[in-house]
Chain A
Amino acid sequence: MSARAILVALLSLAVLSTALGVVYSKHETRRLFIGVQRLEAERDRMNFDWVRLQLEQSTQATQARIESIAHGKLAMNIPPQDSVVIVGR
């Protein structure tokens, strides 16, 4: 075989392998993108859960609700001033 034929064969091989490489990396990109999408969706879902829980806690802890439970259910009262001892430093 002449040197030229070898060169052509080598170059064809190179073309073929880079072509396969392109296909592979394209596939890999897709796969990773789908992975990112899934993780982002999960992150969003968790964020929303977090916001929802914060809101729920905040709604449960409104002053009006605490006050009515303290007064009504637990029979708690703000101590009158004359039964308060102030501890100075």
Chain B
Amino acid sequence: MKLTGHPYRLRRIFLVIALGLGAILLFMRAVQLQVLNHDFLSSQGEARYARVVPVAAHRGMILDRNGEPLAASTPVESVWVNPQEFTATSAQFRELSQLLGTAPDVINSTIYAHASDEFVFIRRQISPEDAQKVLALKIPGLALQREYRRYYPAGEVTAHALGFTDLDDKGQDGLEYAFESVLHGTPGKRKIIRGPHGHVVDEVESLREPEPGRDITLSIDRRLQYLAYRELKAAVQRHGAQAGSAVVLDVQTGEVLAMVNQPAFNPNKREELHGDQTRNRVATDMFEPGSTIKPFTVAAALESGKFRPSSMIDTAPGFFKVGNATVHDIHNYGRIDVSTVLQKSSNVGVSKMALEISAEQVWTVFTRVGLGSKTSAVFPAEAAGVIKNYRQWHEVERVTAAYGYGVSVTALQLVRAYAALADNGRIRPVLFTRADDRAQIVNAGEQVFRPELTAQLRRMLETVSQEGGTGTEARVAGYRVAGKTGTVKKSQEGGYAEHSYLAVFAGFAPMSNPRLAMVVMVDEPQGDAYYGGQVAAPVFSAVMSGALRLLNIAPDGSLTLPARVALLEGGR
């Protein structure tokens, strides 16, 4: 066979070489793609269609102490678009605008403003039903995202205590903020495959399950909360007052049963919030306690051993001079005993007692009952109050501090201090969540007074609500109550305002075995009635009367309207 023996020999060789080279090239390219660049390319490819999306986690509920819901999150849908892919016919666009209740211009400009992004909300938080209608329009580049919206069934009644959440369902204020870590859920992650228009084709796998937030059971009793709110609101309106606060404490555990303020706000309408309304005055606002601090001055006097409840003090002629200041009483009470000093709320009497003992003794008692320090570590923005160290007290300050000027406290501190008097001198932290181990908490607490001393003080404070006292309007039919009125001139720049007052009442009931302590504070009542005994004491009476009945606390008194008592056969 010669070289030219076959007519196509050259062509065959050429073809074999060419095809061989082609195959080798293809093989090398395959190796390059499949082996060398495999990871990069496959991740790029996946990124084009697979996505990891967050799965919103449910925020825990807030329940009252009886398990009634006070705040719960309900699902809503937010509408978002990818401006890169968003294309709608004019008919679709019109319908979309109608369904969302947003003007077409607004939607357009929102999308235009984010033209280079891949994600923009055009309407947040619409009902799931409306959202399905929007989705049914089948607009490319438009999708839904599930979110949660907080709903507060009790509305403004619980507004200040609970606070509120923001659009992303994060706690912003109040207990929503304080217990954020418990209530807040951890969002999950899910891998999905998207089609060319952004809609979900398939859900591939769950990378992390969403962890819903836990529920929280508060110490607040919704019924008492409502009662306190209703009575406080009525009083603030009746007296044309600026503001008001009321707080009810369980004496034996330190649990807050009700905490209300005026003016209030509706937490379900977040758009209308502004700072002045949302402040929880019970915890954040400091005020001079005025005469409501007198029981503690008297406690210091009794502890010193220089005074007994029956000791006589001469308050004539109804005023006396200290330095260049003058202490006034409303009337000249003459020579009265310590108990009457409290009953009549004599500034002169209590000032003279304070000067007989050392400033340190007064200051220690105030500090021991927690005035001038926070009541718990829980509530956001709680004020600590101000009580200057006794070493900085001048003679005038020793006197004014004795009847509650020159020191400032919060309603929460005051109610805790009164709860300590009510509970035989035991003071404990204020609780906002229900105490599950009641027995243990009841026996805890720091003993800051001798029990006998508090019993003496309770008897004196009961006389305040009896005939001749300043707080007769605090009486509750069927129960014996004890407390103290306060009418405080409001301080302003350069001194004290002439006609602006705080009307305060602090007390507890029932006397024979105190269960509830309460502080009512009404800011700037207008008109002739501005005394604590006229403005705040009736609120105390109305709330206590309802609360004692709701909590099934047995009557122990027969003040004006005696309750008949029948004993069952075989009873004790």
Interface check A33, CB cutoff 8 A: yes
Residues of B within 8 A of A85 (CB): 564-566
Residues of A within 8 A of B393 (CB): none
Residues of B within 8 A of A52 (CB): 74
Whole-angstrom distance between the Cβ of A46 and the nearest chain B Cβ: 12
CB pair B58 A55 closer than 8 Å:
no
Q: How large is the interface on B (under 10, 10 to 19, 20 to 34, 35 or more residues)?
A: 35 or more
The answer to whether A88 and B564 touch (CB under 8 A), given A58-B153, A62-B226, is no
Within 8 A of A (CB), among B172-209: 203-206
Residues of A within 8 A of B58 (CB): 47
CB pair A51 B73 closer than 8 Å:
yes
- Among the listed stretches A6-14, A16-24, A76-84, which one makes contact with chain B, having 4 or more residues with CB under 8 Å of it? A76-84
CB pair B564 A86 closer than 8 Å:
yes
* A45 nearest CB neighbor, chain B only: B75
Residues of B within 8 A of A84 (CB): 478, 563-564
* B146 nearest CB neighbor, chain A only: A44
Whole-angstrom distance between the Cβ of A7 and the nearest chain B Cβ: 30
Q: How large is the interface on A (under 10, 10 to 19, 20 to 34, 35 or more residues)?
A: 20 to 34
A78 vs B478: C-alpha distance when bound (angstroms): 14
CB pair A86 B69 closer than 8 Å:
no
Interface check A64, CB cutoff 8 A: yes
Residues of A within 8 A of B554 (CB): 86, 88
Within 8 A of B (CB), among A26-40: 33-34, 36-37
The answer to whether A81 and B478 touch (CB under 8 A), given A47-B58, A58-B69, is yes
* B571 nearest CB neighbor, chain A only: A89
* A47 nearest CB neighbor, chain B only: B58
Interface check B301, CB cutoff 8 A: no
Residues of B within 8 A of A82 (CB): 561-564
* Cβ contacts B528-554/A at 8 Å (1 or 0 each): 000000000000000000000100001
A47 vs B212: C-alpha distance when bound (angstroms): 12
CB pair A51 B61 closer than 8 Å:
yes
Question: Contact partner of B227 among A44, A54, A55, A63, CB < 8 A?
Answer: A63
A59 vs B61: C-alpha distance when bound (angstroms): 15
* Cβ contacts B46-70/A at 8 Å (1 or 0 each): 0000000000001001000000110
A21 vs B433: C-alpha distance when bound (angstroms): 55
Interface check B439, CB cutoff 8 A: no
The answer to whether A33 and B561 touch (CB under 8 A), given A48-B74, A54-B69, is no
* B561 nearest CB neighbor, chain A only: A81
Whole-angstrom distance between the Cβ of A20 and the nearest chain B Cβ: 22
Interface check B572, CB cutoff 8 A: yes
Residues of B within 8 A of A36 (CB): 206
A88 vs B226: C-alpha distance when bound (angstroms): 29
* A78 nearest CB neighbor, chain B only: B549
A64 vs B157: C-alpha distance when bound (angstroms): 10
Interface check B72, CB cutoff 8 A: yes
Question: Contact partner of B153 among A47, A59, A78, CB < 8 A?
Answer: A59
Interface check A3, CB cutoff 8 A: no
* A84 nearest CB neighbor, chain B only: B563
Residues of A within 8 A of B160 (CB): none
CB pair A33 B153 closer than 8 Å:
no
Residues of A within 8 A of B153 (CB): 55, 58-59, 62
Interface check A1, CB cutoff 8 A: no
Question: Contact partner of A88 among B223, B562, B566, CB < 8 A?
Answer: B566
* Cβ contacts B221-259/A at 8 Å (1 or 0 each): 011001100100000000000000000000000000000
CB pair A88 B69 closer than 8 Å:
no
Whole-angstrom distance between the Cβ of B49 and the nearest chain A Cβ: 16
Residues of A within 8 A of B35 (CB): none
The answer to whether A88 and B567 touch (CB under 8 A), given A47-B58, A62-B153, A63-B226, is yes
A58 vs B205: C-alpha distance when bound (angstroms): 38
CB pair B151 A37 closer than 8 Å:
no
Known contacts A82-B564, A86-B565; can you find 4 more A-B pairs with CB under 8 A?
A51-B74, A82-B562, A88-B566, A89-B572
Residues of B whose CB lies within 8 Å of any CB of A are 58, 61, 68-69, 72-75, 151, 153-154, 157, 203-206, 222-223, 226-227, 230, 477-478, 549, 554-555, 561-568, 571-572
Q: Sort A-B residue pairs by CB-CB distance and give the 9 closest, nearest first.
A: A63-B226, A58-B153, A81-B561, A81-B477, A59-B153, A89-B571, A58-B69, A51-B72, A54-B69
Residues of A whose CB lies within 8 Å of any CB of B are 33-34, 36-37, 44, 47-48, 51-52, 54-55, 58-59, 61-64, 78, 80-82, 84-89
Q: List 24 A-B contacts (CB under 8 A).
A: A33-B203, A34-B203, A47-B58, A51-B61, A51-B73, A54-B72, A58-B68, A59-B153, A61-B68, A62-B153, A62-B154, A63-B223, A63-B226, A63-B227, A64-B230, A81-B478, A85-B565, A85-B566, A86-B554, A86-B563, A86-B564, A86-B566, A87-B567, A88-B571
